[in-house]
Structure 1
Amino acid sequence: MIFFISGGVRSGKSQYAEQRAKEFHSSNGRNLYYIATSNVYDLEMKARVALHQQQREQDMERWKLYERKTDLHQLLPVFQAGDTILLDCVTTLLSNELFQDGEITGKNWEDETYVRTLENKLTSLFTEMAKAPYIVVIVSNELSFEPMNYELSTQIYLRLLGRLHQKIVSLATEAILVENGIPLIKKKENYI
């Protein structure tokens, strides 16, 4: 079962997602996992990662952390029925997969076959998560509110991210947009 939480940068989406994951965990009592996809590439990102780590450490819950930049499907056999998994975040995961950890010079993004294969790979990952007997809270950034007069690599990234968001929402039990710390429910299905 998937719960999709998106929002702009610094919207409060990660904090809200952590709260929801802990709520699910407290009701099922199994394992609580955190999959962090961040690639620490500058001082600001280092500070953001440290803040997230500090917030998790202060919780009473016991997070089991996986720091994984790509190939998340390799983690799926670890999870069992009743587990709660927080995946933060799709935007970084896609960037890592598409641009080889931020190296746009690799130019995989120019290869239509590579982009299609990557989209299928991630669509398969999210489909498998949706069908699994555990709960996955997925976080992603909303980047489609700005005009698309970017470099070609960024345009390809944004188009692919938009298609992935649509797929995740179609699979999700809930889709929530967080703006200024306020969760706005966009989709909600009965799951009890």
Structure 2
Amino acid sequence: MAQSSLIFITGGVRSGKSKMAEKLAIEMAGKNGGRLTYLATGVPSDQEMQQRIDRHKGDRSAGDYCWQTIEQPVQIGTLSDSVVESDIILVDCVTTLLNNELFSTQRRWDESFFTSVKDSIITGILSLKRRAGAIIVVSNEVLNEPLIGTDLVFLYGRLLGQIHQTLVNEADRALLVETGIPIVMKEVGR
């Protein structure tokens, strides 16, 4: 099996991260073939979120490339058995996945739980990476501003930062998207 790649894309809300990720995935599919899989973590919790989900689905279905969309708000690693070497997977997004994992269970919120959530997300993404030809992971950059709020806000920021650091360490490329413009933060082997 050829070495798979991981591309990590972060940026502010509505910065163009998802569009950039879709563009990169389509370019990879154009060069190497393979099935485009959109692994969506969003849950339609309100009307605005439903509209965003519908818009993203519409954008993908209107293009020249056929996307397989899988809605998986938690435990994304359970999908790894269905992944093949030619797959190009786009995970959108880690911030939503972390939120879903934290609030999808009635477990006691202690350090053991937080570690298991963090490890589950990282292990899930890396297990998909090992099976796929490429995985592109999108996440929001929420750590550039001071975290103001409750202990939960600080905890969320800490966990997200740890997840980001691990994924960037494993990534072949890491991009920061600002107003639709990608800034290369890491690039291995180019």
Question: Which ranges in structure 1 are unaligned for 5 or more consecutive residues?
Answer: none
Aligned to 2:50: 46
- Distance in 2 (CA, whole Å) between partners of 1:115 and 1:6 is 22
- What are the superposed Cα offsets for residues 150-188 of structure 1, whole Å, 9 maximum, x if unpaired? 111121111100000000000000000000010000000
Aligned to 2:75: 71
- Distance in 1 (CA, whole Å) between partners of 2:100 and 2:136 is 20
Structure 1 position 85, deviation (Å): 0.5
Aligned to 1:82: 86
- Distance in 2 (CA, whole Å) between partners of 1:126 and 1:75 is 10
1:23-38 to 2 correspondences below 5 Å: 23-38=27-42
Aligned to 2:112: 113
- Distance in 2 (CA, whole Å) between partners of 1:46 and 1:77 is 29
1:122-161 to 2 correspondences below 5 Å: 122-161=121-160
- Residue type at the aligned position of 2:151: L
- Distance in 1 (CA, whole Å) between partners of 2:83 and 2:129 is 13
- Residue type at the aligned position of 2:23: Q
Aligned to 2:25: 21
Say which SS state the counterpart of residue 15 (structure 2) adopts: coil
- Two-structure CA RMSD over aligned residues (Å): 1.5
Structure 1 position 133, deviation (Å): 4.6
Aligned to 2:6: 2
Q: Is the 8 A contact 2:89 2:132 kept in 1?
A: no
Structure 1 position 148, deviation (Å): 1.7
- Residue type at the aligned position of 1:59: G
Q: Does 1:164 align with 2:163?
A: yes
In structure 2, relative to structure 1, the CA distance for the partners of 1:43 and 1:122 (3 Å cut) is same
Say which SS state the counterpart of residue 176 (structure 2) adopts: strand
Q: Is the 8 A contact 1:2 1:129 kept in 2?
A: no
Give me the TM-score of the superposition, normalised by structure 2.
0.93
- Distance in 2 (CA, whole Å) between partners of 1:58 and 1:40 is 21
Say which SS state the counterpart of residue 30 (structure 1) adopts: coil
- What are the superposed Cα offsets for residues 91-150 of structure 1, whole Å, 9 maximum, x if unpaired? 00010001228xxxx474x31111111122222223334434510010000000121221
Give me the TM-score of the superposition, normalised by structure 1.
0.92
Say which SS state the counterpart of residue 175 (structure 1) adopts: strand
Q: Does 1:100 align with 2:107?
A: no
- 4+ runs of 1 displaced by more than 6 Å? none
